[in-house]
Structure 1
Amino acid sequence: MPNDDRPIPVIIDCDTGVDDALALLFAVRHPGLDLRAVTCVAGNTDVDGVVLNTLTVLEQAGAPEVPVARGADRPLIEFSRSARHVHGEDGMGDLGLPAPRRRPADVDAVTLLRREILASPRPVTLIPTAPLTNIALLLRTHPEVTRNIERIVFMGGAVACGNATPVAEFNVWHDPEAAAILLTAGVPITMYGLDVFQRVVVPGTDVRRLRENPEPGTRLAGELLAHRPSAPDITTDPEAGGIGDAGAVCAVVDPGGITTRLLPVEVSLAPGPTRGQTLVDRRPRPGESELHTGTREQALVDVALDVDVERFAKLYLSTVERA
């Protein structure tokens, strides 16, 4: 955590899903974070389902009255494609949670983002854990917000393999144009991609302990982790659960838990099998293409290449068990 002891003002833009819910539970309970707003976008499920799931999680967690706003119901250009096969029909593990009493804000997501960013007495850290449609619309409609954004830490992209396609990660693949706009934001950006996303796993013994906790928010974390499969190559502990998107929020609290390199990144926008791929240039020097054109045009992004798995798993557990 930065040396400044004051909580970091953050806004989460999500498509609540299982692991977005895990991220919200962490953000609400960590004393080093000041969650100023949550904005919702279509992705894991439809946007109205995302709003409902977000309000449900905040209520189960006993969160303060954080404003929640409905955002884009589809990508900038293409149609929406959900991930219910991963997150359940309701987008949140089909846990049958009671309907929330909370209601969303009476403004749209872009309006709420602009209002909360500009009203914050300190620069805000944006944490998108979803397709980047809302963030792209904000940056194009209200570019003045960048003067009060400290950093954008987004869950998306991949250096190596994708999950939506062999090379594209779901959030970027869902709205590649929006991701390309994000990279032009003109503020520091950290990419928390699949390369680290899939690695942070809570052991099965801890998942069982959370599920048995009588406190609703802690128990919900356990139920979500039980639904969330661990990384594909982990077979020794089948009850373990990956924290997924919550790792991006952990990286805001504890940036030393990830290893990053400032690298050129661009998004493939062409139709075909590479659409939505994040092209991360790890070459030590320019190649023939740049030598002939005289420029590297990609945005420079702090790309997460490694993560301290045990450190983040412990951080996550110690936080969500905080009633």
Structure 2
Amino acid sequence: MTTNAQQPIPVIIDCDTGVDDALALLFAVRHPGIDLRAVTCVAGNTDVDGVVRNTLTVLEQAGAPDIPVARGAERPLIEPARSARHVHGVDGMGDLGLPVPARTRVDVDAVTLLRREILASPRPVTLIPLAPLTNIALLLRTHPEVVRNIERIVFMGGAVATGNATPVAEFNVWHDPEAAAVLLTAGVPITMYGLDVFQRVVVPGTDVRRLRDSAEPGTRLAGELLAHRDPATSGDPTPSGGLGDAGAVCAVADPAGIGTRLLPVEVSLAPGPTRGQTIVDLRPRPGESEIHGGGREQALVDVALEVDVERFVKLYLATVERA
């Protein structure tokens, strides 16, 4: 997972395009070390049709090549969809009044496109889910043969410490905990880019203002997205802006920017206040539960615990300002 190789990394992004997914797409299409082969859409920040529209809009504004975009699951495996429009706006992408895209999605569903592009890639694909993991779970259960051509899954989701959907659960995992549990059994290397690093990478207000003043549409869009604020916290004339999901794509382009530990992780599926929690075992040795035979087999995941904020901010700015 390095851009020092002669060829760019083949990447597929699965997203629920709200504000920070859009930032991630802008970065992915402009970074020379990333070959974005497809984008699949799932309900999350907004409904799945809104996600498709937002995704096509971002790719168009960025001047991206003809990247296939597919519509995926419109609800989690078990529970109803629960959007985050209160954060991302009514349209799911900051209510910026962007024009309706001329691009259209492909005529196959997300799982079909994922299977097709993964198996067709001449090099193993890095899969970057930035959304609830419903599409990915359906893919892994329907077409398990795809794992032979997946290099790694780098997903934005989960938290070691504090959640945002609940005190302990992060939104993407909380939205579809069963799908997240399926992901952890994928049988390929997995990196968890969770809230512990997600919330720390913030672009200073002066840089946001410069992006917003750009004459180039994709660069300007990045600035407008970074300046977007939850209505409850708006009012800053030169707001800083969190990269959010885009940090996970930065971690694929520049894996040395994060510090990870290989740790046991499981998802709480029980009803109640812990549902959707990613339980990350940080203990240096087994506890009484394991000693007395109560331990469970857990997935081993590279969990991001540290991030070089300045490095990722510089990387992001240099990339999205690349016309």
Q: Is 2:228–2:241's contact at 8 Å kept on the other side of the alignment?
A: yes
For residue 90 of structure 1, what is the amino acid of its counterpart? D
For residue 104 of structure 1, what is the amino acid of its counterpart? R
Residues 1:228 and 1:38: Cα distance change in structure 2 (over 3 Å) = farther
In 1, the alpha carbon distance for the partners of 2:148 and 2:315 equals 31
Aligned to 2:9: 8
In 1, the alpha carbon distance for the partners of 2:135 and 2:167 equals 26
Residues 1:228 and 1:240: Cα distance change in structure 2 (over 3 Å) = same
Aligned to 1:137: 138
In 2, the alpha carbon distance for the partners of 1:82 and 1:295 equals 35
The share of aligned pairs that are identical, in percent, is: 86
TM superposition shift of 1:296:
4.4
Aligned to 1:269: 269
In 2, the alpha carbon distance for the partners of 1:263 and 1:35 equals 29
TM superposition shift of 1:288:
1.0
In 2, the alpha carbon distance for the partners of 1:176 and 1:207 equals 34
Matches within 5 A, 1:224-243: 224-228=225-229, 239-243=239-243
Aligned to 1:66: 67
TM superposition shift of 1:238:
6.3
TM superposition shift of 1:51:
0.1
TM-score by length of 1: 0.97
The count of corresponding residues between Structure 1 and Structure 2 is 318
Matches within 5 A, 1:123-202: 123-202=124-203
Aligned to 1:222: 223
Q: Which segments of 5 or more consecutive residues in structure 2 lack a partner in the other structure?
A: none
Aligned to 2:79: 78
TM superposition shift of 1:291:
1.4
Q: Is 1:211–1:218's contact at 8 Å kept on the other side of the alignment?
A: yes
SS in 1 for 2:292: helix
Aligned to 2:282: 282
Q: Which segments of 5 or more consecutive residues in structure 1 lack a partner in the other structure?
A: none
Q: Is 1:18–1:228's contact at 8 Å kept on the other side of the alignment?
A: no
> CA deviation digits over 1:266-321, x for unaligned, max 9?
00000000000000000011111111227541100000001000000000000000
Q: Is 2:26–2:59's contact at 8 Å kept on the other side of the alignment?
A: yes
In 1, the alpha carbon distance for the partners of 2:221 and 2:253 equals 22
For residue 120 of structure 1, what is the amino acid of its counterpart? S
Aligned to 1:321: 321
In 2, the alpha carbon distance for the partners of 1:254 and 1:12 equals 16
Q: Is 2:206–2:238's contact at 8 Å kept on the other side of the alignment?
A: no
In 2, the alpha carbon distance for the partners of 1:296 and 1:54 equals 39
Aligned to 2:27: 26
In 2, the alpha carbon distance for the partners of 1:238 and 1:214 equals 18
TM-score by length of 2: 0.97
TM superposition shift of 1:3:
3.5
